Amino acid sequence: MEITKKDVALAAKLAKMRVSEHEAAVYEAQLEALFNWVKDLSAVNTDGVELSNVNLSAHVRADEPVTDEKRAALLRADFNASLDDCAKVKKVL
Amino acid sequence: MMTVDQIINAFKSGEKSAEEITRGFLDVISQKNPEINAFVEVFETGSLARAKELDQKRARGEKLGALAGVPVAIKDNILFKDHKATCCSKMLENYVASYTSTVVEKLLAADAVIIGRTNMDEFAMGSTNQTSVYGPVKNPVDVTRVPGGSSGGSAAAVAAGMVPLALGTDTGGSVRQPAGFCGVVGIKPGYGRISRYGVIAFASSADQVGVLAANVKDAALALEVLAGKDVHDSTSLEAPVPAYAQLFSRDLKGVKVGLPKGFLDGLADDIKQKMDEAAAQLQKQGAELVEVDVPHAKYAAPCYYIITSAEASSNLGRYDGIRYGYADEASADLNSYYENSRAPFGLEVKKRIIIGTFALTSKNYEECFLKAMKVRELIRDDFKKAFEKVDVLLTPTSPTTAFKLGQHDEDPLALYLADLYTCQGNIGGLAGVSVPFGKDKDGLPVGVQFYGPILQEEKILNVAYHLEKGL
């Protein structure tokens, strides 16, 4: 993967950070080496792998049922929309 | 140096006062810290006042806690109310904690004495302890070498006898690798075993608090105090906490130790030899050695650097001069305000934020971040299957022993590769412990690591205890 100074500058801008010319040059070389190494991952077949979409501990965590219905209703009322008794929020990409 | 067990007994029996014990360790710190640089602040007045309180508590005949009178050092990213917590970064140089972390609360409830905060790589990003704004820590075994990192200060403090117990944090090996380099024991429990409340976040899906101690039993005693569900951390696990130090078996009969296929390929001969010796010793103590396959584990390091950098880019977004961190009041507009306020980050921290941000851009998200997340699932599955066949896995802690200060400054990728064996534990959420096992040809400590499943820390502690005992 080729990394350019422009890529470094764009990522720094998105992260609201200023990088000097010198830093950009150092990062450009180091990021290129790193992302070429990361390319090793492309050799792994991940077809059909689903993200568990839960944190690592979720499989041993107990359910946390709503105990205070009044408070839950108040929280839901603060949202603009709801679906199946859950607050509905905009999808963020 | 007195062990934790000996300190507790000496204090509880009245043989020594907490003040005497604390003064003893403060003396060692004042002698050794100027060269080693393990502590960035020593709470001399506070720790002595606390010790005197404990002496009074004992004099009143009140029940004493599980770590009564034991001085403990905390890494500089763990909050202790009204004390500085800087992550060894200029960004937080004046930050004073407004509340106390759960781990420190638990230590205080167990009647421990918090003696100071220890040096670390800036924001826990590094494995040499050279990125600290307070300067590098030196390895007490050989001061021309790194102590490892990022909890290098905690490991060096224990190795130098400045403190019997220290807390670290471990996101990719930051407790176990410095433990291996300095010749002490370092345990990172499985994800969720210890609360992260009040620990400054680096990568939330991998961060865990760990313990550095002079021996396995001391580490077990501390883990028992620290482990458990915390209502302030939803990722902490609701499960009973065993009395780890009382669960050591008489021998290793019936224990299956897994040797992952191909893990020793490419290792230096003397480290490979130590690994073979460790396996042979465990077998002699009754363990059954079983070869297991964890085919995707070799991809853990690149996964780790993508995932943790992505999480860091998000977690460190809070240092914007408004919520936390340095505020540049002289900036002319909002963009300059943000950029100037984030300027105090060091080179390595900025680099990780850039890596993470770059991996999360729409152009790279699928190829980098999503791919790494999917490979992480495969790695976790591999370990899950391995633990259906064996109780623990045996690996090296690091591919090398402690290297010279500055040796890899020009080649950060070499440093990243050095995390290969430790970051697997964070990617998999496993429990891991590093225990010293002899020396290499240069007389430097070699660390041996055991992995165990989540919530089964007693298994790795037991095997580590037997390995240590057999030396």
Boundaries of every domain in chain B: 4-246
Q: Where does the pLDDT of residue B346 fall: very low under 50, low under 70, confident under 90, or very high at 90 and above?
A: very high
Residues of chain B contacting A37 with CB distance shorter than 8 Å = 302, 413, 416
Residue B249 among the catalytic residues = no
Please tell me the predicted confidence (pLDDT) of residue A59.
44
Yes or no, beta carbons of B339 and A16 under 8 Å apart: yes
Q: Which CATH number fits domain B4-246: 1.10.3720.10, 3.90.1300.10, 3.40.50.360, 3.30.1640.10?
A: 3.90.1300.10
- The chain B residue lying nearest A56, using CA atoms, is B429
pLDDT higher than threshold 60 for residue B182: yes
Q: Give ∠ CA B200-B187-B347 in degrees, rounded to 5.
A: 40
The partner residue sitting opposite A44, judged by closest CB among B355, B362, B375, is B375
- What is the percent of chain A where pLDDT is above 90? 47
Q: Where does the pLDDT of residue B88 fall: very low under 50, low under 70, confident under 90, or very high at 90 and above?
A: very high
Characterize B233-248 residue by residue with b for buried, 16 or more Cβ atoms within 10 angstroms of its Cβ, and e for exposed: bebbbebebbebbeeb
Q: What is the pTM of this model?
A: 0.92
Residues of chain B contacting A51 with CB distance shorter than 8 Å = 373-374, 377
Please tell me what DSSP assigns to residue A79. Answer: S
pLDDT higher than threshold 90 for residue A1: no
Yes or no, beta carbons of A38 and B338 under 8 Å apart: no
Distance from CA of A83 to the nearest CA of B (A): 25
The two structure tokens encoding residue B12: 């509880």
The partner residue sitting opposite A19, judged by closest CB among B303, B335, B350, is B350
Q: Where does the pLDDT of residue B194 fall: very low under 50, low under 70, confident under 90, or very high at 90 and above?
A: very high
pLDDT higher than threshold 70 for residue B301: yes
Please tell me the predicted confidence (pLDDT) of residue B418.
87
pLDDT higher than threshold 70 for residue B348: yes
Distance from CA of B193 to the nearest CA of A (A): 9
Query: Smallest Cα–Cα separation from B409: which of B174, B127, B204, B92?
Result: B127
Please tell me the predicted confidence (pLDDT) of residue A64.
66
Annotated catalytic residue, options B17, B154, B174, B434 = B174
**Highest mean pLDDT, choosing among A20-24, B140-144, B265-269:** B140-144
Please tell me the predicted confidence (pLDDT) of residue A53.
54
Would you call the peptide bond into B150 cis, given omega within 30 degrees of 0 as the criterion? yes
Q: Where does the pLDDT of residue A78 fall: very low under 50, low under 70, confident under 90, or very high at 90 and above?
A: confident
Among B100-104, B324-328, B434-438, which stretch is predicted with the lowest mean pLDDT?
B324-328
Q: Which residues make Cβ contacts (< 8 Å) with residue A92, sequence separation at least 6?
A: none
The partner residue sitting opposite A44, judged by closest CB among B305, B340, B378, is B378
Q: Which of B354, B373, B409, B456 to mutate to test the interface with A (most CBs of A within 10 A)?
A: B354
Residue B174 among the catalytic residues = yes
Count CA atoms closer than 13 A to B135's CA, side-chain side.
9
The partner residue sitting opposite B377, judged by closest CB among A8, A52, A62, is A52
Question: What average pLDDT does this structure show over A16-23?
Answer: 93
Write the pLDDT tens digit of every residue in B210-251: 999 999 999 999 999 999 999 999 999 999 999 999 999 889
Please tell me the predicted confidence (pLDDT) of residue A62.
54
ipTM: 0.89
Residue B150 among the catalytic residues = yes
Please tell me the predicted confidence (pLDDT) of residue B230.
96
pLDDT higher than threshold 60 for residue A10: yes
